[in-house]
């Protein structure tokens, strides 16, 4: 048993659901107790999704505990099949079904005899993998399933596309700025004259998965999702994959050079140097920013970085290599991928921290007292407590991290966005600090909004206590309204009764 208040990566089934619900017309059925369908709330709220999330639960209740699911799961699958006509139904185990050890395989087999849709059991174990690993596995599983299926039917298309082309693998729902990154990557590929063959899983149809081998190569922008599928495709079809995250000016260039190399090996004849040069020097503002006086002021400032492997590694490199900022420590919660992370960042920071314990991270921030933090929502709140600004760079994230405006982290527009994020975090901290030195903007006491300033009314003890329970930001208003009410009616003392009568009278 472990005492835990907060977790960075969610449970396994969240990963499976993220992948399943990213595809078009794929329905996931969770084998779970009532209330475990919280994923639907998250997707609907965070992504502001217009459509019903294609996830339902086959409820595990007392009866299931006593007698097993029996027909229930099969019925639920076939029912969903007729109601929604999905292409694929993914039966998703949860922590509960992991311990019940019901033969879900058997249910899947039985259901697939009846259902028009393909039916599959997500091969994830709650106690062995987390959200990110599960997502990677599920994507791999779905890709394999449809490649095998096409192969058996002899529908696997032969050969490559005429023009150089790419599959972008790993864009998913509830991923940090994934939608924007996807747009930016497509734009980048268009600039390079590379055709986008398929994007998976977001918005893809399972029928198109058989076309994956037609691409010349695979691009896996995120470390956490898509590598397993990319490796499978490499092994089956000899498709090269590129796992350099194009985040930051230097890494984007490195990614493009790798693409150039990979497609030139397959007979293309491209040279991206001029494009890279042009983008770096004149189009993207990030390189210029790092030369400007603004950025000079950041030299040697202390920062700490924490997040998933992809974003924490990329940010560390950008801060240290492209902006001259001193990264005191960089860390990730992707413990299963610690080795890769260390290798990526060790030369750009003093210390590497790999942990899932937010307490340890909080302490490490307090110890270092950086000028800025780049982390998840948890680090943002640590920053609030310590009065240190924080730029959010990775999940777990809140609704404000699903902006409507165009905010990619990848590609050349991504470099601009990141420069803004970094610069805003630091200057805000600086501004606060200056204000403090010079005594703040204004003294708060001078301005009063009338009435309650020189009050002739007395609040009795209970009423005063009650007033103190009113949240600070409306307390003044409540006080003023109550006093106005009391004065109008000639009360001299404010009691609880008067307070509530006032509330009822003003209808607030």
Partner 1 sequence: MTLAQPEALNFECETGNYHTFCPISCVAWLYQKIEDSFFLVIGTKTCGYFLQNAMGVMIFAEPRYAMAELEEGDISAQLNDYEELKRLCLQIKRDRNPSVIVWIGTCTTEIIKMDLEGLAPKLESEIGIPIVVARANGLDYAFTQGEDTVLAAMAVKCPDQAPVAEAEKNERNAIAKLLNFGRKKEEVAAEESEYVNHPPLVLFGSLPDPVVTQLTLELKKQGIKVSGWLPAKRYTELPVLEEGYYVAGVNPFLSRTATTLMRRRKCKLIGAPFPIGPDGTRAWIEKICSVFGIEPKGLDEREAQIWASLEDYLQLIRGKSVFFMGDNLLEISLARFLVRCGMIVPEIGIPYMDKRYQAAELALLEKTCQEMGVPAPRIVEKPDNYNQIQRIKELKPDLVITGMAHANPLEARGINTKWSVEFTFAQIHGFTNARDILELVTRPLRRNNNLKDLGWEKLVQEEAKV
**Residues forming the active site:** 294
Shortest spacing between CB 120 and partner 1, in angstroms: 21
Q: Is the dihedral of CA 129, 132, 137, 141 positive or negative?
A: positive
Residue with tokens 């986008």: 196
- According to DSSP H, which parts of 23-114 are helical? 38-46, 62-67, 71-84, 95-100, 104-114
C-beta of 10 vs 246, nearer to partner 1? 10
C-beta of 127 vs 438, nearer to partner 1? 127
Structure tokens at 305: 């970085």
CA of residue 93 relative to chain centroid, distance: 22
CA of residue 220 relative to chain centroid, distance: 16
Q: Are 58 and 34 in contact (CB under 8 A)?
A: no
Instruction: Tell me which residues touch partner 1 (CB under 8 A).
Output: 1-7, 10-11, 13-14, 32-38, 40-42, 44-45, 48-53, 56-62, 65, 76, 83-85, 94-96, 99-100, 126-128, 130, 378, 381, 384, 396, 398, 462, 466, 469, 496-497, 500, 503-505, 507-508
SS3 270: coil
**Residue 7 DSSP symbol:** -
Phi/psi of residue 375, each to 5°?
Answer: -155, -155
C-beta of 13 vs 311, nearer to partner 1? 13
C-beta of 451 vs 508, nearer to partner 1? 508
SS3 428: helix
In angstroms, rounded to a whole number, what is the distance separating the alpha carbons of residues 465 and 463? Answer: 5
**Residues facing residue 353 across a β-bridge:** 331
**Residue 400 DSSP symbol:** G
C-beta of 433 vs 489, nearer to partner 1? 489
In angstroms, rounded to a whole number, what is the distance separating the alpha carbons of residues 91 and 24? Answer: 16
Shortest spacing between CB 285 and partner 1, in angstroms: 34
Give the β-pairing of 326-332 and 302-307: parallel
In angstroms, rounded to a whole number, what is the distance separating the alpha carbons of residues 180 and 403? Answer: 9
Closest CA to 231 of 133, 143, 304, 105: 143
Helix (H) or strand (E) holding 391: strand 390-392
Q: Are 406 and 180 in contact (CB under 8 A)?
A: yes
SS3 172: coil
C-beta of 94 vs 167, nearer to partner 1? 94
Q: The sheet that has 195-201: what strands, in order across it?
A: 195-201, 165-171, 217-219, 241-242
Q: Are 147 and 157 in contact (CB under 8 A)?
A: no
C-beta of 95 vs 428, nearer to partner 1? 95
C-beta of 207 vs 503, nearer to partner 1? 503
């Amino acid at each position: 048993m472990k005492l835990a208040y907060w977790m960075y990566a969610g449970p396994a089934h969240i990963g499976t659901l993220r992948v399943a619900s990213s595809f078009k017309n794929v329905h996931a059925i969770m084998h779970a107790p009532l209330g475990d369908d919280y994923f639907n709330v998250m997707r609907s709220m965070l992504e502001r999704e217009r459509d019903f999330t294609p996830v339902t639960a086959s409820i595990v209740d007392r009866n299931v505990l006593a007698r097993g699911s029996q027909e229930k799961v099969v019925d639920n699958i076939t029912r969903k099949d007729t109601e929604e006509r999905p292409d694929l139904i993914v039966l998703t185990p949860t922590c509960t079904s992991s311990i019940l050890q019901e033969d879900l395989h058997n249910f899947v087999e039985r259901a697939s005899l009846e259902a028009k849709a393909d039916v599959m059991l997500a091969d994830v174990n709650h106690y062995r993998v987390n959200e990110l690993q599960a997502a990677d596995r599920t994507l791999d599983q779905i890709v394999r399933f449809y490649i095998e299926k096409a192969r058996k039917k002899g529908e696997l298309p032969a050969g490559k596309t005429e023009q150089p082309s790419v599959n972008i693998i790993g864009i998913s729902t509830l991923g940090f700025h994934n939608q924007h990154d996807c747009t930016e990557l497509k734009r980048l590929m268009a600039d390079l004259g590379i055709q986008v063959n398929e994007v998976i899983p977001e918005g893809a149809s399972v029928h198109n998965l058989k076309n994956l081998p037609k691409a010349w190569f695979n691009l896996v922008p995120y470390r956490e999702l898509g590598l397993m599928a990319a490796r499978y495709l490499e092994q089956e079809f000899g498709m090269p994959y590129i796992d350099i995250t194009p985040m930051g000016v230097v890494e984007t260039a490195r990614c493009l050079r790798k693409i150039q190399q990979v497609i030139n090996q397959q007979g293309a004849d491209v040279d991206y140097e001029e494009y890279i040069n042009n983008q770096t020097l004149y189009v993207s503002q990030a390189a210029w920013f790092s030369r400007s006086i603004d950025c000079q002021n950041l030299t040697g400032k202390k920062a700490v970085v924490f997040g998933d492997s992809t974003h924490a590694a990329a940010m560390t490199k950008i801060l240290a290599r492209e902006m001259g900022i001193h990264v005191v420590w960089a860390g990730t919660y992707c413990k299963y991928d610690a080795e890769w992370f260390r290798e990526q960042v060790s030369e750009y920071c003093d210390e590497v921290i790999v942990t899932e314990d937010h307490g340890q991270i909080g302490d490490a921030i307090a110890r270092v007292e950086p000028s800025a933090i780049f982390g998840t929502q948890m680090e943002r709140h640590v920053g609030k407590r310590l009065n240190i600004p924080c730029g959010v760079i990775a999940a777990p994230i809140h609704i404000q991290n699903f902006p409507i405006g165009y905010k990619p982290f990848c590609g050349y527009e991504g470099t601009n966005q990141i420069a803004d994020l970094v610069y805003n975090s630091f200057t805000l901290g600086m501004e606060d600090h200056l204000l403090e030195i010079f005594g703040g903007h204004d003294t708060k006491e001078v301005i009063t909004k009338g009435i309650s300033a020189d009050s002739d009314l007395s609040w009795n003890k209970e009423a005063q206590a009650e007033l103190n329970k009113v949240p600070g930001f409306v307390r003044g208003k409540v006080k003023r309204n109550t006093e106005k009410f009391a004065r109008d009616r000639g009360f001299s003392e404010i009691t609880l009764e008067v307070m509530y009568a006032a509330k009822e009278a003003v209808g607030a």
